[in-house]
Structure 1
Amino acid sequence: MTEAQDWIEHDPDPATAAELAACDADEIARRFAHPLTFGTAGLRGPLHGGPDGMNLAVVLRATWALAQVLKDRCLGGSAVVVGRDARHGSEDFARAAAEVLAAEGFSVTFLYTPAPTPVVAFAVRRLGAAAGVQITASHNPPRDNGYKVFVDGGLQIISPTDRDIESAIARAPHADEIARAAVEPSGVDIVAAYLERAATVRRSVGSVRVALTPMHGVGGEFALDALALAGVDDVHIVDAQFAPDPDFPTVAFPNPEEPGATDLLLALAADVDADVAVALDPDADRCAVGVPETTSDGSPRWRMLTGDETGWLLGDYLLSAHPDPATALVASTVVSSRMLAAIAAGHGAAHAETLTGFKWLSRAAAPGASLIYAYEEAIGHCVDPDAVRDKDGISAAVLVCDLVAALRSRGRTLPDALDELARRHGVHLTSAVSRRVEDAGAAMTALRTDPPAALAGVPVSVEDLAERRGQQRTDALVFSGDGLRVVVRPSGTEPKLKSYIEVRRAPTDDLAAARKTARQLMTDVAAAVAQW
């Protein structure tokens, strides 16, 4: 019997068993060539049968493997948390995961409702659970789903835990032979505790008019509840995107960073004369911010801030309010802007740079300092690390509204605050360029072998992060020159090279001139790296 025949015979889902049975030999070969593995966001893949997709058999075997790893670490019988978003298959997958963990002897909190990913991170930390599982594919297309694992403290897993689980999956029983025990949904109290905690990040008073979209995901009601608890009740929603819908019918790609994804939000914000616009991604762990501003010809417009711009604003706000910045740590990733480091230095606080992803940001540390804020340029913000040691779009939205109210009490706006940071620390412009390549590894080798000596006329030196030791080692190159920084790395999911560009200008009161020269250099550098 072949591996595929064996899988089909033991697939507990008749639909995926029949789907696999109908596949031709080439498709079967593709589906069994590369089983899903734990990447930056856990297991994630298309909804179809076989070990390379998200399906009931994969979820059962992954959960059995997680249980064995926990028991091998003397954590058998511990509390665990299982949650889900509202994607296709999420409810069935979450129930299956909860039932396997229960059968393996764990005390399972199976969240009673589809919930944001940060709720699971919060619950693991608050309950002292050994692990948490969230069924989600975040902002992936409708055809995908995923399996995300948190460990003690509500932190995302890193090696060797991910590799240990994969090894256990390889020796897991047939999916239909894995024991399951019924579990009743629960967690009302922990969801309420999460919402109450999210509301506490607000410190100022005053009304804020908000335009909000959860982008067809699970964050809508949670955001409204947290904002209401924080005293923000003038909230206008994008009706067409408010109810959870796994098909994401109004957007080509359910990611607030994608062109056009926030068009409905910004139109609503203009219509209701909002103070700020907030977009959550479908599992509500990321938060994008839109602001009204005046163009050079004096006309009004709305635009979305970059993740870096929001990161600067929130980092500066939290450090400004901290009673002793010398004991505070803020963190950003190697591909994010250097502005947060400058902001931290200006406050006398510590700054840490980590590899990409919140599995590293959540573990940022510095002697004598405690983490108070971390962000990545891909609109992920951790604004209350003591409660949620991961990115959290709900609490970030509350803090954004708090900042808007605090600024307005002084007659200022978010664009005003960005201008002040630029005057204090210099203009920082950021951008990213992705280029599809035949072989990303070969492209990186070529850059290592013959790195450019200059970019757009700016002499640059290069640091190879593959030569670092320990957790700072990664497959990336950093090119640095006068007011210029470019980080290039291969995509972890596609045959692409990704380049993250930052152009800096010295502090000046003539921001218009500084931004003009920075934009020109940015254009020239982007054109250069697009050829790599």
Structure 2
Amino acid sequence: MTSNIPDEELALKVKEWMEWDQNCTTKAEIQQLVDQKKYEYLKQVLCQRMSFGTAGLRGKMCAGYARMNDLVIVQTAQGLLKHLENQYSEALNKNGLVLGYDARHNSERFAQLTAQVFLSQGYKVRLFSKTVPTPFVPFAVWKYKTAAGVMVTASHNPKDDNGYKVYGSNGCQIIPPDDKNIQKEILNNLKPWDKSWDLSLLKSPNLIDPLAETSKDYYKILSDSILPEYKSNSGNLKIAYSAMHGVGYPYILDAMKIAGIDVVPVKEQVMPDPDFPTVTYPNPEEGNSMEYSIKTADAEGCDLILANDPDADRLAIAVRIDSGEWRKLTGNEIGVLLGWWLLSNFEKRFPDVNLDNVYMLASTVSSKFLRGMAEKKGFHFIETLTGFKWMGNEAFDLIHNEGKKVVFAYEEAIGYMCGDGVLDKDGVSAALHFATMAMELHRNGLRVDQQLNELFTEYGYHITNNSYYFCHDPPTITKIFERLRNFNGPQSYPNSIMNGVCNVTSVRDLTVGYDNSQPNNKPILPVSKGSQMITFEFDNGLICTLRTSGTEPKIKYYTELCDSSKDASYLKVGENLKMLVDGLTTELLEPKKNNLAPSE
């Protein structure tokens, strides 16, 4: 088969794949590519491999080491197991591993293959017997004190993708150096072990279903977080719910029972469907994803829409406003409302607790509203790098090492951690808390958007404008960011934009480790040379962060304008921000010159 392949390395990789892979479909796929002499494509998928990072793995499902498939999962599971034996052997020997999966193509299969690898070496595996929301995995890791947890999901990626997300023994997403250690062990254990493909292992007594116990304890903690007066909702606010063709619906129903809340399902999207037939992308943040929710809400007379992403770890919200039209709340606006609501509930539950021991967290590209709220209320606000891996681990240290209370954490990409039951974003608990808040506001004659306006009036209008440009050429991205670092000569950043309309007051560059707002220009947040990220603060209250995406060919921008003046309004501040963003992105990114494609 390989004798006619002109490239020796490729020929060896093809031979290796055909010997190691036991999936008939992907073996046939490689054979067909060889027969068709598609050697360049074969080099892409066989001579390179997908690298394991802090987000684990995520990519297209097809044959090859650079793609998601059975053989890559077996290799990854073997590497993960060896890493856990090296670093967390006590927890591994005693309590094993937790495994969950969403409703995507091959998710259950990938979870079972991982289970087989661990079972083949005599370890205990807790594999959920059906699809679960992603937050159930970190919850179960901490509940059972396992060495790690794996959730097979690609979240809101297109239907052809899948992913492999790993949680550490603390119930948080892994952070360095665990990712590098796992990658190293994957490369040291590429050849499938003798029993890694053994399906009979799925009948082992070491394979346990944790669903019933995990559900019971998860909803008990969630119930305890809801004040008694909010558990018998008699309000007539009607709520529509979409699972975005994912796993969320039965879990949302159980959550809403805690507060006596009913939801109207968006029938076209409420049941799992790995082909996501009604949306271009199964991401409730983008495109036409809320179209069916709005149709259902209009037909049923609903005034609030809740929508999870397919693995139910994120939450999108739309509210009917005074005009009768729908307003889709930004991730930051949802964060403002949930932060206020959860702190209000915390103060009612624990009236004697000193807020000096209370913390809220947000990613560095999220709104600074909570920072301003903390200054007035007396709790602490901490900013972390982008991603719940950083917020979760920071929260864990605060809770378990310092004895602090973490009430809330969020990132603007509609991810919310309500309380400390799950140290990761959780779209199920966030949906219950938001629905309970909306019901209580409704009983008091207030809409959600009116409450948001009251909060802005009290703490300042924090209006955000976030978007991105596509850039499929990595050298162009590098050139754009290097220009910013040498804007007015070598090693000098921009000092103003729009002919002095905005003057730069501070620059933080977490790629090179520079922050001129800190002593010795050293940033507090961790530096990551492998990604681009620069934040500018201006003298008019404008903040802008430019960064590259870790999973997509995008340059993202996050901007916020804070205005606490008496004549400030949502509309006025928003219009001012839009003008500033247009000027800022034109000057700093030069989209036309660099052929950047704007978001749709």
Give me the TM-score of the superposition, normalised by structure 2.
0.84
Instruction: Give the structure 1 partner of residue 8 of structure 2.
Output: none
- SS class of match (1:331): strand
Partner amino acid, structure 1, of 2:366: S
Cα distance, 1:509 vs structure 2 = 5.4
Please name the residue that 1:449 is paired with.
Answer: 486
Per the alignment, in what secondary structure is the counterpart of residue 140 of structure 1?
coil
Mapped contact 1:60–1:178 kept (Cα < 8 A): no
Q: Provide the residue aligned with 2:527 in structure 1.
A: 473
Q: Cα distance 1:202–1:216, how it changes in 2: closer, same or farther (>3 A)?
A: same
Aligned to 1:61, what secondary structure does the other structure show?
A: helix
**2:466 and 2:159 mapped to 1: Cα distance?**
25
Deviation, structure 1 residue 525: 3.5
Which range moves more in the overlay, 397-406 or 463-472? 463-472
| In structure 2, C-alpha distance between the alignment counterparts of 1:432 and 1:413, rounded to whole Å | 25
Equivalent of 1:53 in 49, 61, 67: 67
Task: State the shift of 1:515 in Å.
Answer: 4.2
Q: Residues 411 and 260 of structure 1: is their aligned pair in 2 closer, same or farther, counting only changes over 3 Å?
A: same
Q: Aligned partner of 2:329: which letter?
A: L
Cα 1:220/1:527, change in 2 over 3 Å: farther
**1:110-189 paired onto structure 2 within 5 Å:** 110-175=127-192, 177-179=194-196, 180=198, 181-182=201-202, 183=204, 184=207, 186-187=209-210, 188-189=212-213
Q: Which residue of 2 aligns with 1:396?
A: 430
Give the Cα separation in 2 of the matches to 1:12 and 1:176.
Answer: 12
Q: Are 2:319 and 1:291 aligned?
A: yes
1:4 aligns with 2:14: yes
Q: What's the secondary structure of 1:223's corresponding residue? A: helix
Matches within 5 A, 1:20-419: 20-23=30-33, 24-73=38-87, 74-75=89-90, 76-79=92-95, 80-175=97-192, 177-179=194-196, 180=198, 181-182=201-202, 183=204, 184=207, 186-187=209-210, 188-203=212-227, 204=230, 205-206=232-233, 207=235, 208-233=237-262, 235-294=263-322, 299-322=323-346, 323=350, 324=353, 325-364=355-394, 369-385=404-420, 387-419=421-453
Look up the SS of the partner of 2:559 in the other structure: strand
Say whether residues 1:433 and 2:467 are aligned partners. Answer: yes
Does the 8 Å contact 1:433/1:530 carry over to 2? no
Name the aligned partner's letter for residue 449 of structure 1.
Answer: N
Q: Report the Cα distance in structure 2 between the residues aligned to 1:194 and 1:45, rounded to whole angstroms.
A: 30
1:319-351 per-position Cα deviation (integer Å, ceiling 9, x unaligned) = 122233222110001111111111222221000
Query: Does the CA contact (< 8 Å) of 1:373 and 1:382 recur in 2?
Result: yes
- Aligned partners of 1:12 and 1:175 also within 8 Å: no
Going from structure 1 to structure 2, the CA distance change for 1:269 and 1:508 (only over 3 Å counts) comes to farther
Contact in 1 for aligned 2:54/2:176 (Cα 8 Å): no
Q: Which moved more, 1:516-525 or 1:316-325?
A: 516-525
Which residue in the other structure is 2:456 paired with?
422
Q: Decide whether aligned partners of structure 1 residues 354 and 145 sit closer, same or farther in structure 2, where only a CA change above 3 A counts.
A: same
CA distance in 2, matches of 1:513, 1:434: 23
Query: Which one of the candidate residues 549, 552, 555 is aligned to 1:494?
Result: 552
Whether contact under 8 Å (1:98, 1:108) holds in the other structure is yes
Shift of 1:497: 1.8
Change (3 A) 1:507 1:274: farther
Distance 1:376 1:169 in 2: 31
**Percentage identity across aligned positions?**
34
Q: Structure 1 residues 522 and 107 mapped into 2: Cα distance closer, same or farther (>3 Å)?
A: same
SS, match of residue 268 in structure 2: helix
2:296 & 2:446 partners in 1: Cα distance?
22
In the TM superposition, residue 527 of structure 1 has moved relative to its aligned partner by: 4.5
Greater mean alpha carbon deviation, residues 471-480 or residues 129-138: 471-480
Contact 1:444–1:490 (CA under 8 A) maintained in structure 2: no
| Equivalent residue letter for 2:65 | P
Moved more, 326-335 or 392-401: 326-335
> Residues 279, 107 of structure 1: CA spacing in aligned structure 2 closer, same or farther, 3 A cutoff?
same
The answer to whether the Cα contact below 8 Å between 1:86 and 1:244 also exists between their aligned partners in 2 is yes
Equivalent pairs counted in the alignment come to 526
Unpaired runs of 5+ residues, structure 2, are 1-10, 488-492, 514-521, 592-600
The residue identity in structure 2 corresponding to 1:51 is Y
1:175, CA displacement in angstroms? 2.8
How far is 1:34 from its partner? Answer: 3.2
| Shift of residue 122, structure 1, vs aligned partner | 0.8
Q: 1:199 to 1:274 in 2, by over 3 A?
A: farther
Larger of the two Rg values belongs to structure: 2
Say which SS state the counterpart of residue 453 (structure 2) adopts.
helix
Provide the TM-score with structure 1 as the length reference: 0.94
1:435·1:530 contact (CA, 8 Å) conserved in 2? no
**Deviation, structure 1 residue 159:** 1.0
CA distance in 1, matches of 2:276, 2:479: 36
1:426 touches 1:506 (CA, 8 Å); kept in 2? Answer: yes
2:509 to 461, 464, 474: 464
Find the counterpart in structure 1 of residue 25 from structure 2. Answer: 15
State the shift of 1:239 in Å.
0.3
Report the AA paired with residue 63 of structure 2.
Answer: G
| Greater alpha carbon shift after TM alignment, 173-182 vs 62-71 | 173-182
For 1:338 and 1:531, the matched residues in 2 are separated by 27
**How far did 1:521 drift?**
3.2
Q: CA deviation at 1:213?
A: 0.1
In the aligned structure 2, how far is the partner of 1:470 from the partner of 1:2?
47
Give 3-state SS (helix, strand or coil) of 2:289's partner: coil
Partners of 1:58 and 1:300 in 2: CA distance: 51
